[in-house]
Amino acid sequence: MYSLILVAIGLALITHAVFRWMEPSALLVIANAAMTFLAVAVHAIAFSETALFVALLRAVVLNTVFFASLVASIAVYRLSPWHPLARFPGPAWAAMSKWWMVHCILIKGGRHLEMQRAHRQYGTWVRLGPNELSVNDPTAIAPIYTQLNRSNFHKGAPAKADTMITVIDRQRHAERRRTWTTALSTKANEIYGIYAKRRLAELLHHIDRSRSKDAPVDIDRWVNLFFVDLAGDIGFSGGFETMKDGHDKDGWMEMLGMGVRFVTAMGQVPWMRDILQLLPQRGPIETFHSFVEAKVRQIREEHKTKSMRVDIMGTLLDESAGAARLSTDEAVADAGLIIVGATDTSVQTVLTALRFLAADPYRLRKLQREVDTVFGTEHDDEIAVNISELLKLPYLNACINESFRILPPGPAGPARVTGPEGAVILGRWIPPHTTIHVPVYTMHRDPANFGPLAELYIPERWLSEAEQTEMITATDDPCLTLSALTPCNRQAFMPFSAGYANCVGRALGLQNVKLTLASIAHRFAMSSERGFDPAMYDASYREYGLWTHDPLRLQLSSR
Ligand code: HEM
């Protein structure tokens, strides 16, 4: 038995040597364990003449020894000075295993704060995983996001095919990106603007009906439902009517929320996906899958009869106009991306602005005065606004920028990976196959980039000195000085990622969030709900790739 234990330890060390440069494939490790188990059991039965029970017990012991030795060997190596990333500082747990990050995400919901703490403690470069680095320096954005390929982070999602955001091959990415660019062109966005105005009139109508003199409005729920319906219009020319139903009766929003949470956690340990993929997928995932599959079939039929649809999926499938050929599975995967891309990122940005503006009469009035100049003085549900005029409003732009800055969607920063030759970033050698990213939340709140008041929501930091002086005089806060609002380092502002795989929906995203915030601010007078505790509300924020928080409720009245 002792010699067999030594063999198990030896096998564990060999297995570690084989998997050293990669996250192991879970299925391979399981297959390996199963075969060892079987071999030991067969050997014990055939040659040692022991009872079956004893033979199986031995196999269990030897497998346990094998796995314990494997884990110990991996942990010791990752913490050792021989590891290629040993010279980068960081929390020991992070260097030892990616499960530390999974724990920060799933259990604490506070990865953004852990990362911020780690950078404050260890400096610009932090080792955040066995093979992962975070660089809190805006000058690292260009080299990381132009030179390096996307990492397999997004592959945490159980899917039958790649979505646009998981394609790693640069040529295939470029092909698919070309069609997405057409689907989100300026011309297409003008049409999506018409869809948005129609849905906004509906949103304002529902909010108006749901408000009463005393009870606050659950603005969180309405903004969420609005963006789901709009994503259906823009993505597939309709299909969702959650505002009309008053709730998301199919549970898609919940599914997508859970999905993003799951992907963010599994993206840390992508090999786990192999195992989870084997589990049956039921409920809303299947409903969504069937819904999208039916839409894809319908659009393909329509293309045969040459009737053109103006929506993203219609363009992605329009091969006669040069679209890259998509399999049905790829189209279904992209459909999920349309919903994720066009909903939560925008919802959170609008809610962040509403949370701060409703608690700040001076800034709310300033925004309302500005939007009135393009909406006119009729404060009804109709949205008769010239969108290109609206997009130029400087204070609206400053409020939205500040929302993106203070609570950026994708706060950890999109992950990229060095190739087999490694890379040089900011003069430092980064070994091959190292995941690397810029910590967006940390960078956006770094006083080096946004001054000593970087943790506060101050839209004026994006405006001229004259505007800042006016605000400082009006608010009469001794902490607010011109120098406290500098610097405002635009190079360190990265809500839409950067480089070849940055957000292709940036213009549409900006159009949607500006239009939504402006329409609500134009239509309603608002304040925080009675008893609102800003510190408690802000502390309720959890980060799972996207944000979750306590519901935001506002006191609203007609203007
Ligand atoms: C406020 C709104 C939005 C924000 C903050 C946002 C943010 C982002 C970020 C950070 C990425 C980059 C991920 C990476 O580098 O790996 C991204 C990619 C992407 N976004 Fe957005 N997004 C927004 C709106 C939209 C909209 C409206 C759409 C359209 C449906 C969209 C579609 C996409 C797509 C297709 C990609 C992948 C691009 C590629 O791989 O080339 N996004 N987005």
| Rounded percentage of the chain residues whose pLDDT exceeds 90 | 58
User: Residue 502 C-alpha to ligand 1 middle, in angstroms?
Assistant: 7
pLDDT band at 152 (very low <50, low <70, confident <90, very high): confident
Asked if residue 341 has its Cβ within 6 Å of ligand 1, the reply is yes
Question: Which H or E element spans position 163?
Answer: none
User: Residue 166 C-alpha to ligand 1 middle, in angstroms?
Assistant: 12
* Residue 154 pLDDT greater than 80, yes or no: no
> Which has more confidence, 403 or 278?
403
> Which has more confidence, 49 or 345?
345
Candidate of 503, 511, 512 to mutate for ligand 1, largest count of ligand atoms within 8 Å of Cβ = 503
pLDDT at 301: 78
Q: Is 104 annotated as a binding residue?
A: no
Per mean pLDDT, which range of 84-88, 145-149, 327-331 is the poorest? 327-331
pLDDT band at 101 (very low <50, low <70, confident <90, very high): confident
pLDDT at 59: 76
- Tokens 């994503």 sit at which residue? 231
Ligand 1 atom showing the smallest separation from residue 508 Cα: 27
- DSSP letter at 246 equals T
pLDDT at 530: 92
Asked if residue 227 has its Cβ within 6 Å of ligand 1, the reply is no
Ligand 1 atom showing the smallest separation from residue 177 Cα: 41
User: Who's near 355: CB < 8 A, 6+ residues apart?
Assistant: 528, 537, 552
pLDDT at 500: 96
pLDDT at 357: 98
Q: How many alpha carbons fall within 13 Å on the CB side of residue 218? A: 10
User: Residue 293 C-alpha to ligand 1 middle, in angstroms?
Assistant: 22
Asked if residue 343 has its Cβ within 6 Å of ligand 1, the reply is no
pLDDT at 145: 97
Asked if residue 340 has its Cβ within 6 Å of ligand 1, the reply is no
| Rounded percentage of the chain residues whose pLDDT exceeds 70 | 89
* Residue 478 pLDDT greater than 70, yes or no: yes
Q: Which among 557, 559, 553 has a CA at the least distance from the CA of 222?
A: 553
Separation in Å, CA 475 to CA 366, 458, 470, 481, 525: 12, 12, 9, 11, 20
Q: What residue owns the CA closest to ligand 1's atom 21?
A: 503
Per mean pLDDT, which range of 6-10, 102-106, 247-251, 263-267 is the poorest? 263-267
Torsion of Cα atoms, 421 then 423 then 427 then 429, to 10°: -60
Q: Which among 482, 491, 479, 467 has a CA at the least distance from the CA of 399?
A: 467
Per mean pLDDT, which range of 210-214, 495-499, 502-506 is the poorest? 210-214
Cα distance between residue 386 and residue 384, in whole Å = 7
Asked if residue 496 has its Cβ within 6 Å of ligand 1, the reply is yes
Per mean pLDDT, which range of 77-81, 211-215, 365-369, 407-411 is the poorest? 211-215
Phi and psi (nearest 5°) for 525? -85, 140
Q: What residue owns the CA closest to ligand 1's atom 16?
A: 414
Count of all residues that appear for the chain in the document? 559
User: Residue 504 C-alpha to ligand 1 middle, in angstroms?
Assistant: 6
pLDDT at 36: 66
User: pLDDT digits over 421-440, tens only?
Assistant: 999 999 999 999 999 999 99
User: pLDDT digits over 174-204, tens only?
Assistant: 999 999 999 999 999 999 999 999 999 999 9
Ligand 1 atom showing the smallest separation from residue 495 Cα: 5
* Residue 133 pLDDT greater than 60, yes or no: yes
pLDDT at 270: 67
pLDDT at 7: 79
